[in-house]
Amino acid sequence: MGRFNIVQRAWNAIVSMVNRGSVGKWVFIGTLIGIIAGLGSIALYEAIKLVTHYMLFGITGFNPPSTGSSGGLPGYTIGKFRAFLIPVSTVLGGLISGFIVYRFAPEAEGHGTDAAISAFHNNNGKIRRRIPLVKLVASAVTIGSGGSAGREGPTAQIAAGFGSFVADVFKMSDHDRRIAMAAGIGAGIGSIFMAPLGGALLSTEILYRQDFEVEALIPSIVASIVGYSIFGYLFDYKPLFTIPDSSVLLGFSHPESLIVYLAVGIIAGLGGILYVKAFYGIQGLFRKMGRFPKMLRPALGALFVGIIAIWFPQILGLGYGWVQQIFFQNLELLPLWILLVLFFLKILATSLTIGSGGSGGVFAPGIVTGAFLGAAIGIVVHPFFPFLNVVEITIVAMISFFGGIAKAPISILIMGTEMTGGFALFLPLMLATTVSYFVSGPKYSIYSAQVKDRSASPAHAMEYEKPVMDEVLVEDAMQRNYPWVSPDDDLSVALNLLRTTKTKMVVVELARNLQGTISLENINPDSDLKSIKVEEVMNRNPLTISSSENIHVALDTLIKSTTGKLVVVSPADGETVLGTIGLSEIADAYNRQVRKIKNMQIRGNS
């Protein structure tokens, strides 16, 4: 027992020390989150690789291309495989994923980044403990069996979930839990994409459509550095994509190329709108299948994906390898007409996979879809602008495409340069991504849980909302059935009314017009009460308040009163009596408003 007390005291001291710190606290917490982000990214990467080998490749013989960092080489060919068995792999993956998700954690369906964003805004950063593990397994099965989804959403939810867990372990406040969870989002995405700076910035930008969560930046930087250091060790810290020849990226050297990149931004923005509309449109159709079991819906979506993939296997899985082949300039594998068809089919496949309830992210499909679009534009444009090549336009298009609909143009831009090493294209990326962001507009975001800005987030409601008392009018709080006497009544009537109503003040009015007030202080009980009129001793200048004021003003005015009551008068003339208000009425109205706000928050979280 004594040893237990010593351990308990030591742990309490650690918890207290962590919560007292500022920079030191977030270095410590960020490091813990980064470790899990890095290890979680490795676990998901290897799990997808394993499932792909035994399901997609094992059943069909199809081996999709890889990125340069994962050993992908130029000259990839599709080769022969059992295309007719692709639906078997995808449907089996949908069945397994659907069972895992809806049996153990229904909130793990769909893309994990959106769920993490929602938890930040609506649930004080709380994520159930089982979510990271369920998300990892379900996403590995979905992607590895051929589902069109990304691995960034799962890693974001894994690291965000651990951030929530760490905050609870160290008894941190709701505010700090949200920051830890946001740092997890950035660390998870930054690790899996090997883009630590972009990931750290993303955690501050992706929560809103037009704002930043600046407080999350430092913890996210620490977590991203640690996560990247762990995950990147597998790949010698190389960029995700390999640009084989440095002469390919010539960078910005022709001002007239800005015309092309402006057009790329516009087309990417319009394409992004299509992506968002298709995704949420198809998701809506699946959610309207009331009688069709939710557990089976991912398999139904996977069936459609598998059928399409019989003829177009490029839509399967992550799709990063096809982007790598574009960078290897293996365009014989991806001619113009194929690229155009794949642009639409990748959107459709992603919408079917994730919109049906399959588990995975939308980031990777967005990057791949944008790359297909960019390569098609590059093939068309190159003969007219020979100083621009397909690879450069592809990089700009894929980043601007997703940066626009993610409503995170700055962080996605940085991530794009880290993923490709394409820092020479910084200016074109800035132009096209900004244009895409504005073309797609605030309405179209692939992350439905995003809110406009901090003032629109329930997490920051108390910072921006008026005090509760300012929202309640005196008219809604006042007592309408109040005691009153006429100025012509004698004092015995007034005294009897004061005693029976147990109030300190009675309104004196004539035809609803205020004449004054009378209280026990105005009455001498030893006098001849029946011979003295109320008007002879009443207070002719009582404290009043307009019914249009709020109860905050009423409380400030009430402090000056010795009777504990104010007379409520009409704002039209300031003389017509409407009621009275005191501390009890103010307290009741305040409590009603607080309960109303809490009920609204509960409904918003459900």
241 is written with which tokens? 């994509």
CA pair distance 538, 112, nearest whole angstrom: 70
Q: How many CA atoms lie within 13 A of 297 on its CB side?
A: 27
> For residue 270, is it left (φ>0), alpha (ψ between -120 and 50) or beta?
alpha
Strands laid side by side in the 505-510 sheet: 484-485, 505-510, 513-519
- Neighbour tally for 466: CB within 10 Å: 9
CA pair distance 366, 207, nearest whole angstrom: 18
Cα 558 to the chain's mean position, in Å? 43
Q: Tell which residue, 246, 247, 251, 187, has the closest CA to residue 220.
A: 187
Report residue 439's pLDDT band, with 50, 70 and 90 as the boundaries: very high
234 is written with which tokens? 């597998």
Phi, psi of 596 (to 5 degrees): -65, -45
Domain 2-461 identical in fold to domain 469-592: no
CA pair distance 177, 164, nearest whole angstrom: 6
Condensed to tens digits (0 to 9), the pLDDT of residues 564-577 reads 889 999 998 888 99
Q: Taking the model in full, what pTM does it have? A: 0.78
Indicate the CATH number for domain 469-592. Answer: 3.10.580.10
Condensed to tens digits (0 to 9), the pLDDT of residues 492-549 reads 888 888 888 888 889 999 989 999 999 888 888 888 888 889 898 898 888 999 999 9
Q: How far apart are the first and last CA of the chain?
A: 43
User: What pLDDT, on a 0 to 100 scale, did the predictor assign at position 129?
Assistant: 84
In whole numbers, what is the pLDDT of the chain averaged over residues?
89
Mean of the pLDDT values across residues 25-30? 88
User: What kind and span of H or E run contains 261?
Assistant: helix 257-287
CATH class of the domain comprising 2-461: mainly alpha
The sign of the dihedral angle between the CA atoms of 112, 117, 121, 124 is positive
pLDDT at 9 over 70: no
**Least-confidence region, from 12-21, 256-265, 347-356, 449-458:** 12-21
Q: Tell which residue, 595, 592, 529, 585, has the closest CA to residue 558.
A: 585
- Give helix 336-355 / helix 257-287 axis angle, nearest 10°: 40
Using CA atoms, how far residue 157 sits from 87, 97, 99, 102, 168, in Å, is 28, 16, 19, 17, 16
Give the domain ranges of the chain.
Answer: 2-461, 469-592
Condensed to tens digits (0 to 9), the pLDDT of residues 357-408 reads 999 999 999 999 999 999 999 999 999 998 888 999 999 999 999 999 999 9
Residues with Cβ within 8 Å of residue 236, at least 6 apart in sequence = none
CA pair distance 309, 311, nearest whole angstrom: 5
Report residue 11's pLDDT band, with 50, 70 and 90 as the boundaries: low
Residues with Cβ within 8 Å of residue 21, at least 6 apart in sequence = 28
Phi, psi of 359 (to 5 degrees): -100, 125
CA pair distance 180, 202, nearest whole angstrom: 14
Mean of the pLDDT values across residues 54-63? 96
pLDDT at 247 over 60: no
Q: Tell which residue, 92, 105, 155, has the closest CA to residue 134.
A: 105
Which residue is it, tokens 């700076």? Answer: 197
Q: Tell which residue, 556, 526, 561, has the closest CA to residue 541.
A: 561
Report residue 10's pLDDT band, with 50, 70 and 90 as the boundaries: low
